[in-house]
């Protein structure tokens, strides 16, 4: 008995055709389409220096009429974030958030804080065959673990809290190399309590940046390297809005409104070097729209 073929109604036939086309397109995309530009956008700088200053709002530092001409100039020539925030108050938990993706329950500047072998950016870099050093102005000797010395304060030095980093990664700023090609993959630089603007005016910190990191910022432009300037927190307001800007040859100059926190900054550093995100850095995406 011959089989009787039933013709589908035109509307149903068109719908099935659309579904087939979409499915075929999806299959092609999964079989060799390039990744989205956003997914491939984060660069891998030869060197990154992260300089952390203290206790001032974005308006204080980058606003019209501020006494920070060097920071304003670098921010204007680089990528500046108009919605950047610390994660809490006071200082110490912000540094821990930036360096390890967690405040680890720390809610004060109490010293010492000992976090043992917990995961952190410095250890990640070393384990990946890369390098990390933290440079603290006023640190009396390499590897010093005391709570303070003169204008040096351990609460602003998160890498000293982790036992899985060698003492050699904890250096005074006087050891910051003048041959910038000898810098580690990622460096953190923390001025002392005056030069970071904690105890002294904005102008003091701005002059320090120009004097001590201006040459690196110029060198970075021709050596595939990056300077990141950020603050731990603002002057204790609820919004906790801070200045953050990137300066380097891979950056598209502009002011960017996407929200940025210490966790997102850490996530971006990790993405640069193919490192898995730590703690709360895993809840955010790398900064991806500022790169050339």
Token reading at 33: 């389409």
Q: Can you give the pTM of this predicted structure?
A: 0.87
Query: From CA 83, how far away is CA 74, in angstroms rounded?
Result: 17
| pLDDT tens per residue across all 292 residues of the chain | 444 444 545 444 434 443 343 334 443 333 333 333 333 489 999 999 999 999 999 999 999 999 999 999 999 999 999 999 999 999 999 999 999 999 999 999 999 999 999 999 999 999 999 999 999 999 999 999 999 999 999 999 999 999 999 999 999 999 999 999 999 999 999 999 999 999 999 999 999 999 999 999 999 999 999 999 999 999 999 999 999 999 999 999 999 999 999 999 999 999 999 999 999 999 999 999 999 9
Question: Are 171 and 135 a contacting pair, CB within 8 Å?
Answer: yes
Q: What integer pLDDT is reported at residue 41 of this predicted model?
A: 83
Q: What integer pLDDT is reported at residue 39 of this predicted model?
A: 38
Q: What integer pLDDT is reported at residue 5 of this predicted model?
A: 44
Q: What integer pLDDT is reported at residue 109 of this predicted model?
A: 98
Q: What integer pLDDT is reported at residue 186 of this predicted model?
A: 99
CATH superfamily entry for domain 47-283 = Alkaline Phosphatase, subunit A (3.40.720.10)
Q: What integer pLDDT is reported at residue 229 of this predicted model?
A: 98
Q: What integer pLDDT is reported at residue 75 of this predicted model?
A: 98
Question: Are 98 and 253 a contacting pair, CB within 8 Å?
Answer: no
Would you list the domain boundaries of the chain? 47-283
Spatial CA neighbour of 137 closest among 188, 204, 72, 74? 188
Question: CA-CA-CA-CA torsion for 148, 151, 155, 161, nearest 10 degrees?
Answer: -50
- The torsion region of residue 279 among left (phi > 0), alpha (psi -120 to 50) and beta comes to left
């Amino acid at each position: 008995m011959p089989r009787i073929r039933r013709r589908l109604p035109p509307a149903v036939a068109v719908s099935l055709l659309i579904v087939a086309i979409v499915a075929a397109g999806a299959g092609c995309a999964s079989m060799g389409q390039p990744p989205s530009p956003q997914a491939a956008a984060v660069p891998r700088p030869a060197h990154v220096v992260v300089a952390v200053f203290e206790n001032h709002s974005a308006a204080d530092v980058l606003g019209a009429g501020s006494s920070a001409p060097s920071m304003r100039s670098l921010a204007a020539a680089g990528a500046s974030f108009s919605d950047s925030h610390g994660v809490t108050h006071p200082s110490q938990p912000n540094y821990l958030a930036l360096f390890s993706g967690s405040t680890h329950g720390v809610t004060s500047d109490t010293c010492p804080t000992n976090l043992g072998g917990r995961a952190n950016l410095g250890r990640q870099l070393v384990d990946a065959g890369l390098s990390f050093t933290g440079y603290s102005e006023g640190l009396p000797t390499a590897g010093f673990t005391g709570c303070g010395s003169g204008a040096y304060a351990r609460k602003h030095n998160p890498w000293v809290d982790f036992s899985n980093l060698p003492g050699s990664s904890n250096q005074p700023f006087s050891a910051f190399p003048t041959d910038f090609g000898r810098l580690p993959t990622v460096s953190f630089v923390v001025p002392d309590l005056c030069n970071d603007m904690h105890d002294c005016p904005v102008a003091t910190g701005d002059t320090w940046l120009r004097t001590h990191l201006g040459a690196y910022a110029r060198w970075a432009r021709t050596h595939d390297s990056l300077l990141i300037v950020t603050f731990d927190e603002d002057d204790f307001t609820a919004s906790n809005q801070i200045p953050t800007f990137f300066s380097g040859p891979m950056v598209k100059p502009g002011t960017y409104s996407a929200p940025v926190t210490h966790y997102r900054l850490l996530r971006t550093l990790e993405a640069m070097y193919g490192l898995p995100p730590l703690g709360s850095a895993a809840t955010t995406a790398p900064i991806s729209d500022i790169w050339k």
